[in-house]
Amino acid sequence: MSEQEAPVFQIQRVYLKDLSLEQPNSPAILLEQTQPSLDIQLGVEATPVAEGIYEVAVMATVHTKIEDKTVFLVEAKQAGIFEIRGVPDEQLNTVIGISCPQILYPYLRGNVADVINRAGFPPVHMAEINFQLLYEQQQANAGAQQEAGQQLQ
């Protein structure tokens, strides 16, 4: 019997992969006195890069509007390269879906707040995220969709 490989979880690199800021209605919209609405969307994606190496990215879209006009739109993708080896297959998705995003999210929050502030707006402070709860909800939704698809057949 061969010895089981000891689990390895290492951050190889954390980097800002993509960042865009749009102010399509400036400068006129900046004179508005109405409080803008704020919509924040988050996502997580993972891509295998090599054996035991994964790129994980956390994305945010921050969109502020006054009525139907955009004040600003920020899209950001904070990524990291992680070495994950010796982790049982049933736990690998959990590590990629929870642990990696928890590491990346503070960098994403800081970059989004900074770019919004540099654009001349008060920074948007995105709330803390419970990635374990988010992951469990995604798994439950995927299971429900799969079950619904089987019932249709």
Return the CATH number at 103.
3.10.420.10
Residues 86-115 have pLDDT tens digits of 999 889 999 999 999 999 999 999 999 999
Q: How many domains does the chain have?
A: 1
Domain assignment present for residue 2? The answer is no
Residues 116/122/126/127 CA torsion (nearest 10 deg):
170
Residue 1 lies in a domain: no
93 is a domain residue: yes
Is the pLDDT at 43 greater than 60? The verdict is yes
Q: Is residue 109 part of a domain?
A: yes
Q: What is the pLDDT of residues 66-87, one digit of tens each?
A: 999 999 999 999 999 999 999 9
| Cα–Cα nearest to 80, from 107, 52, 115 | 107
Enclosing domain of residue 83: 8-152
- Assess whether pLDDT exceeds 90 at residue 15: yes
Q: What share of the chain in percent tops pLDDT 90?
A: 70
Residue 35 lies in a domain: yes
In this prediction, residue 153 carries a pLDDT of 57
